[in-house]
Structure formats: C-alpha cells, structure tokens
Amino acid sequence: MSDTKSARPACRSMLYMPGNNPSMLQHVVAFGADSVLLDLEDAVSEREKDAARCLVRHFVKDVDFGKIIVTVRVNGADTPYFERDLKEIIPSRPAAVRVPKCHSPEDVTLADRLISEIERANDIPLGSVKIHAMIETAHGIEHAYDIAVSSPRLEALTLGGQDLTADLGVQKTRGGVEFLYARGRIVMAAKAAGLAAFDTVWTDLNDMEGLKNEATLAVQIGFTGKAAIHPSQVDIIHEAYRPDRKELRRAFRIVYAAEAAEREGKGVIAVDGRMVDGPIVTRAFNLINLARLYGIEKEDDLA
C-alpha cells in the first residue's frame, strides 16, 4: 500500500485520566487507547489543581508514549487556572489541548492567542499544539460551525455531554435521544470545517451494553472518535469502529484503482464499473488506515 499520509491518523478512543493520579498515569500506555486525555479539569479537585498541572507537565515531557496521541484537558477560560495551565503545559508539547466550555469563537481565539504567545516564547514552531474545542452548552452547539472555523489551530470539536444535559435541563437517557441534535450539529460543523469530531463519554461503568450501543451510534452519525472514562471502555469503542468487511474490500479495490490511475496518469477512477471521485478515495484511505489498527494490512488479511 502506498502513502496514506493524506488521511488523518485514526483516533477512535480518547481515554480520560485524572491528571493528579500518578499511579494511573504511569500505566497509560497499557490500555490500548489511541489517545489519552490527561485531565486537569473536572477530574481534579480545586486543591489538587497545582499538583496535577505539575505532574502532567513532567509526565508529558518525560514519558515515552509510543504511538499514543497525548492531549491535555485544561481548565476553562472562566477559571483562574486557564492561563497557568496553558503556560505550563504547552512547553511540554502535547499533541493538543482540549479547551472546555467553548461557547463561542472567542473562546477558541483567546486560547489560540495565548498558545501562540507561549509557543513563540519557548521556540516551539507556531501551531504545533492543536486545540480540541469542547462544546457543552446550547449556545456552543448553536455556534458549532463558527467555532469550528475560528482558528487554524483547531483540530477537533468534541461534545461535552454532562454539562450539556445540565444546560438543557434534561436527563441523560440510555438511548441518548436528548443529544441527537447536538451530536448531529457537532459532526456536521466539524466535517464542514475539515475537523475531527469526538463524542462524549459513557458514564455508567457497569453498563457495557449501553456503551456499545452509544459507540455504534457515534460511528453511524460520523464521529471520528469517542472519549472513554475507564480503560475497560476502550476495547468496546474500538470494536464499534471495526470496519465492515464488505466495505473494506471495496476500499482496497478503490485504493488499488486510485494507485493504478495515478501511475497511468489517468484522472478518472472506475471501480466495479462505477466512477469514483475524490472524497470516496479519501474515505477509502481512511478506512484502510483504520483497518490497520485491527491488524488488517492487506486484502488477504480479510480472508
């Protein structure tokens, strides 16, 4: 298979870990998540904020995470911790910071400005640390697209379900009917802006069936990944993202055809007698990238 760099690396799962819990953090690479979300916000009590920030800063800087994408959820701009979090975390160069409570584009541009200053001050190439904007209010949902296009530093929109239920004044249901609109809106805005979209967490650790259903829904709607609050959730989320064999076979054929077309200098690609255009080829590349995470490297592995 030729170069598939053009497609985004698959990030199906983002595992939250409390930033103040060294005994958990040290095991982070063991749980098989594509990405880890070191949390300085809700998982950390007020009195532990400084300790967590310090721990995460060193941890991100010094530990070998292998292939795992490292992100840090900082405290919101409405807290006294926001600027210090950025100031101390950005120099450790996580892949991204997750900025909570993005109500409007200004929340993102503020973070962008601060991060740029810190990057400049620390000789870090501008734009190295991405932003994942967490949308968790009705206002934020309604401004999802404006938020999505507010900064080139943005890499993803993420849904914050727990705060959103509070803002909406509704209860979390097992089927998630209360989030149907919010999920659709976030996925649409993210995709329209060329960003990734991450679904909220499933909070009931004893209900793995519920998690499975919700993860399947997230995949069907178009979320590129889903957050997990416990390592035991990671495998279930990954299973939901496992590519359909039939679809994958077709993706291999599309990619082979695309490669052949490129070699032969043809502009038009046909697979199974039908014309295939650019977005479909990109999707095929994405699907094959995803399949690699399940140990499928080539069409023969599907046998």
Contacting residues toward another protein, per CB under 8 A: 24, 26-27, 29-32, 63-64, 230-232, 235, 295
Nearer to another protein, 31 or 223 (CB): 31
Q: Tell me the closest approach of the beta carbon of residue 231 to another protein, in angstroms.
A: 4
Helical residues (DSSP H) of 132-277, grouped into ranges: 138-142, 144-148, 161-168, 180-192, 208-221, 234-241, 245-264
Neighbouring-strand partners of residue 134 = 158
Q: Tell me the closest approach of the beta carbon of residue 24 to another protein, in angstroms.
A: 8
Q: Which one-letter amino acid corresponds to residue 79? A: T
Q: Tell me the closest approach of the beta carbon of residue 230 to another protein, in angstroms.
A: 7
Nearer to another protein, 256 or 294 (CB): 294
Nearer to another protein, 75 or 233 (CB): 233
Query: 């101390």: which residue's tokens?
Result: 88
Q: Tell me the closest approach of the beta carbon of residue 180 to another protein, in angstroms.
A: 31
Nearest to 39 by CA among 7, 105, 85: 85
Nearer to another protein, 22 or 222 (CB): 22
What is the Cα–Cα distance from 196 to 184, expressed in whole angstroms? 13
Q: Tell me the closest approach of the beta carbon of residue 26 to another protein, in angstroms.
A: 6
Q: For residue 74, which phi and psi values (nearest 5 degrees)?
A: -90, 170
What is the Cα–Cα distance from 114 to 110, expressed in whole angstroms? 6
